[in-house]
Chain A
Amino acid sequence: MQPVSSFSTSPCGKEKMSPLVEFKDVTFSYPRTEQSAIRNISFEISPGEFVALIGPSGAGKSTLCYSFNGSVPQLFNGNMAGSVTVAGRDTCQEEIPILAQHVGLVVQNARTQLFNVSVLQEVGFGCENLGMPRERIRERVQQALSFVGLSGLEEREPTALSGGQQQRLAIACVLAMDPEVLVLDEPTSELDPIGSEQVMGVIARMNRELGKTIFLVTHDMEFVAKYASRVLVLCEGLLIEDGSSEKVFSNSALLERARIRPPQVCEVAQGLRQKGYSLNRIPINMDMAIEMFMGLRHG
């Protein structure tokens, strides 16, 4: 494992810090549509948080992702009300190349984000465009590739990589620019089990080891339960919940409304409640479930 020294790591202490990301009453509608894609969205994210965004298809999750780096409303035209501030910058006003140094966005189908002839050029592209000195780019590229586990593939053609490798390459491309926040839109939805596990592992390590703030959209609820310190639930453009994964996965009515299936251990616990067992909490992962059910059995 290469050292990752040149990436800045943001502190993730417990004390209250000024928010890194701030959405204030944000509403956005695409041209020629009657309903807004997202409506009256307000939330803040502190440095070092791991936030998951969940919700059904069409809820506005991707639109919300595009609002982090100014793509909405600067590239996707439409009507926006409210404000988004990232690292103190207004995303409606600030130039996208400046915002890109603070927010790395990995879009839903990462393949569409890759276009260079080699892995090396692909990862260096962002830094080049920011006008970094050659040596620094080299160092950043090497470290980003090492971090996502793609060292040695520098000369390969991005399109010839496996789906999981392409997804990790897309992450390396934004990581090389060393942003404080990484926004990832369903990074594993098209991957096989090994590929998913590796990509999710990289995301968790970016948070833990580099202190990066993570904003992750996913349908993988077991992963949400395992890593996210906070979960936002989006439904029909509205933010209907903002809390811990335990709080979200314990709320059957909410899950039903947002058409979310929680991890199976939550379903089991809810089923036991319906059978008259009084559980004081809902387990959200395997370890909690084992401990709880063994405890109940042995009194």
Chain B
Amino acid sequence: MARENIILCENLDFIYPNGVQALHNITLAIEPGEYVAFVGQNGSGKTTLVKHFNGLLKPTHGTVRVFGEDTQEKKVSYLSRKVGYVFQNPDDMLFCNSVEEEIAYGPRMIGLGLEEIGAKVERILRELELDNQREIHPFALSLGDRQRLAVACVLSLDPEMFVFDEPTTGQDYFGGKSIMMLIDQLHAKGKTIVIITHDMPLVAEHARRVVVMNRGQIALDGSPEQVFRQTAQLRQLSLRAPQVTLLAQNLGLKDRTILEAASMIRWLAEDYLPAPGVMQGEQA
């Protein structure tokens, strides 16, 4: 193995107390610096699986290792310093009276000194452009800013890996784009990223690896190119590749997979269509 795995699930089964088996025999490894998107219908087990990455859930059978340590023996408070979890709804994790207090909460809980906490909060407020809102009550912020604050709180514990559960749901294009830029920046700094989303263009444009879940199992696992090429399987799972990916396939492109508009435009202009001048002549 080239690098040590950050996450290693082996033969993971998870059965909820009500008897519903949400995960069946999952074996999966995530290496440092990966950018993995988990996709699939609601109830397919995505959230149940990623909640094992910081010990929020413990396997019923099988093992989950986080940085080599078996999560069965570790507390969430310990694991959350290594793997930060940003909930789908930021309101589920915000409860302090000001932005500043909210960010300081985690570092206080792990017993950092006052000076260190102060410096950390300052740095994060600046990094996430929340410094003008430090004294505001979290619930007075816009949804986009509450989302940023939730990320800020997780950042304050300096984890190596981040899990984002549907980070763009309920946001407009602009809000979604700004949160994705933030996630891309974390990845560029070497952090390992896991996101759950239903937005396939987002997956195609940002993730480096896609894991498709279905009925508690892994149905597909590969690069976005590999996964979005499987048109028939995706249709069976009621998932659809991005519009440009399908358009390229419909126009007969077989030997590679187009993932975003920019490369589609390049392919059309360079390979598929005659040069613009030629065409204009023909049209006139």
Q: CA of A260 to CA of B172 in the docked complex: distance in angstroms?
A: 8
CB <8 Å contact, B280 and A278: yes
Name A's B-contacting residues (CB within 8 A). 56-58, 162-164, 189-197, 219, 222, 259-261, 263-265, 267-268, 271-272, 275-278, 286, 289-290, 293-294, 296-297, 299
Q: CA of A273 to CA of B11 in the docked complex: distance in angstroms?
A: 52
Q: Which of B244-284 contact A (CB under 8 A)?
A: 244, 246-247, 250-251, 260-262, 264-265, 268-269, 272-274, 276-277, 279-280, 282-283
Residue B159 interfacial (CB < 8 Å) = no
Count of chain B residues with a beta carbon within 8 Å of a chain A beta carbon: 41
A272-B269, A286-B243, A290-B250 in contact; A296/B173 too (CB < 8 A)? no
- Using Cβ atoms and an 8 Å threshold, which residues of chain A touch B41? 192-195
CB <8 Å contact, B265 and A261: no
Which chain A residue shows the least CB distance to B283? A278
- Using Cβ atoms and an 8 Å threshold, which residues of chain B touch A263? 243
A192-B41, A192-B198, A265-B243 in contact; A272/B282 too (CB < 8 A)? no
CB <8 Å contact, A296 and B238: no
Residue B171 interfacial (CB < 8 Å) = yes
A57-B142, A162-B43 in contact; A219/B276 too (CB < 8 A)? no
CB distance from A37 to the nearest CB of B (A): 15
Greatest chain B CB density within 10 A among A222, A259, A260, A275 is at A275
Instruction: Identify B171's interface contact among A57, A261, A299, CB under 8 A.
Output: A57
Q: CA of A56 to CA of B175 in the docked complex: distance in angstroms?
A: 9
Interface SS of B by simple majority = helix
Q: CA of A190 to CA of B244 in the docked complex: distance in angstroms?
A: 24
A56-B172, A219-B172, A268-B268 in contact; A193/B239 too (CB < 8 A)? yes
What are 19 A-B contacts with C-beta separation under 8 Å? A56-B172, A57-B142, A57-B144, A57-B174, A190-B170, A193-B41, A193-B198, A193-B238, A194-B238, A219-B173, A264-B264, A272-B273, A275-B269, A275-B276, A277-B269, A278-B276, A278-B279, A278-B283, A286-B247
Q: CA of A294 to CA of B142 in the docked complex: distance in angstroms?
A: 45
Greatest chain A CB density within 10 A among B171, B173, B262, B276 is at B173
CB <8 Å contact, A260 and B173: yes
A277-B276, A297-B274 in contact; A264/B143 too (CB < 8 A)? no
A sample of 4 more A-B contacts (CB under 8 A), given A264-B244, A271-B261, A290-B247, is: A56-B172, A56-B173, A195-B42, A264-B264
CB distance from A147 to the nearest CB of B (A): 22
Residue B55 interfacial (CB < 8 Å) = no
CB <8 Å contact, A296 and B243: no
Contact with A along B2-14 (1 / 0, CB 8 A): 0000000000000
